Amino acid sequence: MASLKEFRDLTTEDLKGQLEDTHQELFNLRFRLATKQLVNHREVRRVKRKIARLNTLLTERELGIR
């Protein structure tokens, strides 16, 4: 997983692309969890946190905070 510093170096369009990919990953993890194919259920938590970080960075850029 990329660090927050690495995310900050990305352009806004790249962040939106990452966010889209991460949402797709979360969908797949939830599907695998529901069908009992997911061994490590902590992956869902990790992906949700990644989504939150990306959303935070996008909001900061929209508001001009950083």
Q: Measured between alpha carbons, how far is 51 from 66 in angstroms, rounded to an integer? A: 18
Q: Tens digit of pLDDT for each residue in 8-66?
A: 899 999 999 999 999 999 999 999 999 999 999 999 999 999 999 999 999 999 999 87
Output the pLDDT for position 66. 75
Distance from CA of residue 13 to its chain's centroid?
14
pLDDT at 2: 76
pTM of the full structure: 0.89
pLDDT at 1: 61
Q: Which two tokens stand for residue 48?
A: 């949700």
Structural domain range at position 15: 4-63
Q: How many domains does the chain have?
A: 1
CATH of the domain at 39: 1.10.287.310
